[in-house]
Amino acid sequence: MPKRNSTLALLATLASGLMATAMAKHRMPPLLDEEKAARSLRSLPSVETARFLSLGYHTLAADYYWIQAVQYFGSGWNQALFYRDLFPLVDLVSRLDPRWEYPLLFGGVALPTNLGRETWINTAESTVLLERGTSLFPDNPDFYVFAAYNLLNYHNDAQRAGQYLMTCARLSGCPAYVPQLATRVLAAADDVETALAFAQSMLESNEDPSFNEMMKERVRRLELERDIVRLETAVTVFKERNGRTPVQFQELLEQGILDAIPEEGYGGEFLIDAATGEVSSSTHSQRLRPAMVPRPAPYE
């Protein structure tokens, strides 16, 4: 028995040495120029290899590569790389220890980098980490808020951003501004009906008087936006039929495009721009739906 124990101890020592040697191959030297840094990061092991080398100690391996990620992020030479190689490190950490949420959140927030003049890189990688966070940690509102920010600002995807914000709004700890933001973002995605249904559901399920007053007003604004969108759709149909913009809404009724003109919910009237066909409200000059300004495509 003593001989067996000593043999097992020797095997464990050898295995630990092999693991340390293998992982040392991928160690991040403290000072690297850009070329050496890129080469070092390209030599990162696959998830399967890292799991094999860790001998079952996956969380220990995750700790090791997390230290490398922090060192990389804090080193001066990474500025020349614009943090582009932070993603492989954080991705490896997350896959080795899927129950560790902080690296995902850190990587998702830290990765997007502005090259100047609103030209952003690393945005797709950031969104991958944040969306993974929503799947692995569905009760953490931070992942939904930051994922929605990415989708709205970098990917011009207001529809998915609005869906994330709606989910976040129902979570404990969600910022108070999110419900209203969700409805505005969905309106930006031309999904006013979903935004309206969400606002009404939030109104019905909440007992806070101040919150309910806020949501009642948001419902009114959404109903106003819904009617404007319907009128603009009818104007588009008219233009396709007649090759011109209608001078007044009555023409839409005469051609059977609309059965009735909706009432303006604040006691005003709807206006039509004869030159552009744009519909507006006499009581609210600013639309609930903001203009979506596409950003330059991210450099992958």
pLDDT at position 30: 44
Mean pLDDT of 236-253: 93
Same domain, 95 and 109: no
CA–CA dist 51, 179 (Å, integer): 41
For residues 90 and 137, state if they share a domain: no
Strands 113-114, 279-281: pairing kind: unpaired
- For residues 66 and 138, state if they share a domain: no
CB atoms inside a 10 Å sphere around CB 221? 22
What is the SS3 assignment for 169-235? HCCCCCCCCHHHHHHHHHHHCCCHHHHHHHHHHHHHHCCCHHHHHHHHHHHHHHHHHHHHHHHHHHH
Q: Which residue has the higher pLDDT, 299 or 78?
A: 78
* Residues paired with 281 in a beta bridge: 270
* Band (202; pLDDT cuts 50, 70, 90): confident
**Whether pLDDT at 188 is above 90:** no
Q: Is there a single domain that holds both residue 105 and residue 69?
A: no
Element (H, E) at 271: strand 270-272
Average pLDDT over residues 282-291: 77
Does 282 fall in a domain?
A: yes
- What pLDDT, on a 0 to 100 scale, did the predictor assign at position 18? 45
What was the pLDDT predicted at 266? 93
Residue 17 has phi, psi (to 5 degrees) of -65, -40
122 located within any domain = yes
**120-121 vs 279-281, strand pairing mode:** unpaired
pLDDT 10s digits, 144-157: 999 999 998 899 89
Instruction: Tell me what pLDDT residue 150 has.
Output: 93
Residue 236: what pLDDT? Answer: 93
pLDDT for 1 equals 46
277: left (phi over 0), alpha (psi -120 to 50) or beta: left
Residues 29 and 95 placed together within one structural domain of the fold: yes
* pLDDT of the residue at 97: 95
Number of folded domains in the chain?
A: 3
> Same domain for 28 and 59?
yes
Higher per-residue pLDDT: 296 or 80: 80
Q: Which of 58, 83, 100 is the last residue of a domain?
A: 100
* Domain closes at, from 35, 69, 100: 100
Q: Which of 31-45, 75-89, 137-151, 280-294 shows the highest mean pLDDT? A: 137-151
Q: Is the same domain home to 112 and 145?
A: yes
| Per-residue confidence band for 176, with pLDDT thresholds at 50, 70 and 90 | confident
Residue-number span of the structural domain to which 236 is assigned: 227-290
Answer yes or no: is 75 within a domain: yes
* Same-domain pairing of 171 and 137: yes
Least confident of 4-8, 109-113, 184-188, 222-226: 4-8
pLDDT digits (tens, 9 = 90+) for 79-113: 666 777 789 999 999 999 999 999 999 999 999 98
Are 80 and 105 part of one and the same domain? no
- Residue 132 phi/psi, 5-degree rounding, is -65, -40
pLDDT at residue 122 is higher than 70: yes
Bigger pLDDT: 242 or 45?
242
pLDDT of residue 209: 86
User: Which is more confident, 23 or 224?
Assistant: 224
Taking 90 as the threshold, does the pLDDT of residue 286 lie above it? no
Contact by Cβ (8 Å): 147, 127: yes
Instruction: State residue 125's pLDDT score.
Output: 95
Last residue of a domain, one of 67, 100, 133: 100
Residue 2 domain-assigned? no
More confident of the two residues 14 and 240: 240
Average pLDDT, the chain: 82
Inside any domain, residue 219: no
**pLDDT over threshold 80, residue 7:** no
In a domain, 40, yes or no: yes
**Do 118 and 88 sit in the same domain of this protein?**
no
- Residue 12 pLDDT > 50, yes or no? no
Q: What is the percent of the chain where pLDDT is above 70?
A: 80
| 117 occurs within a structural domain | yes
The pLDDT score that the predictor gives to residue 231 is: 94
Together in a domain, 60 and 107: no
Residue 198: give its domain's CATH number. 1.25.40.10
Predicted confidence band of residue 228 (pLDDT cuts 50, 70, 90): very high
Residue 281 maps to a domain: yes
Instruction: Measure Cα distances from 296 to 107, 123, 153 in Å.
Output: 22, 11, 10
Do 194 and 145 belong to one domain? Answer: yes
pTM for this entry: 0.72
